[in-house]
Amino acid sequence: MFKKAERKQSRLRLCISGPSGAGKTEGALTIATSLHGGGKIAVIDTENGSASLYADRFDFDVLNLEPPYSPQRFVDAIKDAGNSGYSVIVIDSATHEWDGEGGCLDMNEQIARAKFKGNTWSAWSDTTKEHQKFINAILHSPCHIICTARSKTETAQEGKRIMRLGTKLVQRDNFEYEFTVALDLIHDCHIATAIKDRTSIFSSRQPEPITANTGALLREWLDGGKSLHDSLQSYIVDIESMKGIDNLKALFSSAWIDIKSFNDEPSLNALKAAYDKQKETLEDQMVTE
C-alpha cells in the first residue's frame, strides 16, 4: 500500500575518504563522539593499532583486526558490536576488506584458481556475494557506522602542467554511494568535501575541516525525522481501524518493512500483536455475518 512519505529518525552511514595523513581516523572519532549520545564507541582497526594513538583524546573500545581481511570477518565484528550495545561503530579502514591481505581482491584470485581454472572474471560471481554481505552488515546494523577508506589522487599532464583530476577510493567502484554522506579529505589542509550528501547539510556550506560541529549537524539531522514511537503508534491506530482482511494484510506488510528498518524487536512484536488482534476481530465478524 502506498502512503505519504515521511523521513524517519535514522542511523548514520558515513564514509570518510582521503590519502594517508589526511585525518580520516581523527575525523571519524570526532564525529563518532558527537553521535554516541552517552553510548559506547567501537573501533574496528585494521591500521596496525593507529586508532589507539587517539585514546588520550577520545573514549572508545577497539578491536585490532589482523589479516586475513575477509568480508566475513568484518561482518562478524560489526554484528558483535551491535549485539554488545555499542552506539557507534568506526571501521578504520574499509579499504582492507577490498584491497588488503585476504580481502576481496585476494579472495577472487584464490576462488579463480580453485573453482574457475584461473578465470578471475567468473570468480567475481562468488566474490561479489561475499562483498555484499559486508555492505549489508553496514546497512542493517542498529548502530551508527562510520567507515574510513584510503583514496588515491588521479592526475594528468597537460604540457608541463600536472593537473589533479580527483580522488579514487581504494574500494569497490561506487562504494561511497551506499552511504548517507561521503566526505573526502584533502591532505594538505584537511578540508572535507562532500562527494555524496543525502542530508543537504554540506551542499549549502563551504568545504571545511571536520570538527565537533560537523557531528552536531549530523546528529541534529538524524534526530529530526519521525521517531520509532510515533511511527509505531501511527501504524497501530491504522491497524485497529482497518476493515477487510486483505486490506489489513497489505497494511501490515508495509508497516512491518517500515518498522523493521529501526532494528527494534519489541516494536516489531507490538506491531504483530496489534495485527493478530485485529485479524481475529475481523475473522470473528465474518463468522457472525
**What pLDDT score does 114 carry?**
95
Average pLDDT, the chain: 88
- C-alpha 125: how far from chain center: 23
Tell me if 137 sits within 8 A of 74, measured CB to CB: yes
The C-alpha atoms of residue 140 and residue 288 are separated, in whole angstroms, by: 44
Tell me if 236 sits within 8 A of 274, measured CB to CB: yes
- Please determine, for residue 199, whether its predicted confidence score (pLDDT) is greater than 70: yes
Identify the band that residue 95 occupies on the pLDDT scale cut at 50, 70 and 90: very high
Cis peptide before 93 (omega within 30 of 0): yes
Q: What Å distances lie between residue 43 and 36, 78, 94, CA to CA?
A: 13, 10, 12
- Please determine, for residue 7, whether its predicted confidence score (pLDDT) is greater than 80: no
- Please determine, for residue 166, whether its predicted confidence score (pLDDT) is greater than 70: no
- Please determine, for residue 96, whether its predicted confidence score (pLDDT) is greater than 60: yes
Q: 108-144 pLDDT, tens per residue?
A: 999 999 999 999 999 999 999 999 999 999 998 989 9
**What pLDDT score does 222 carry?**
85
Identify the band that residue 259 occupies on the pLDDT scale cut at 50, 70 and 90: confident
The C-alpha atoms of residue 256 and residue 242 are separated, in whole angstroms, by: 15
- Please determine, for residue 223, whether its predicted confidence score (pLDDT) is greater than 60: yes
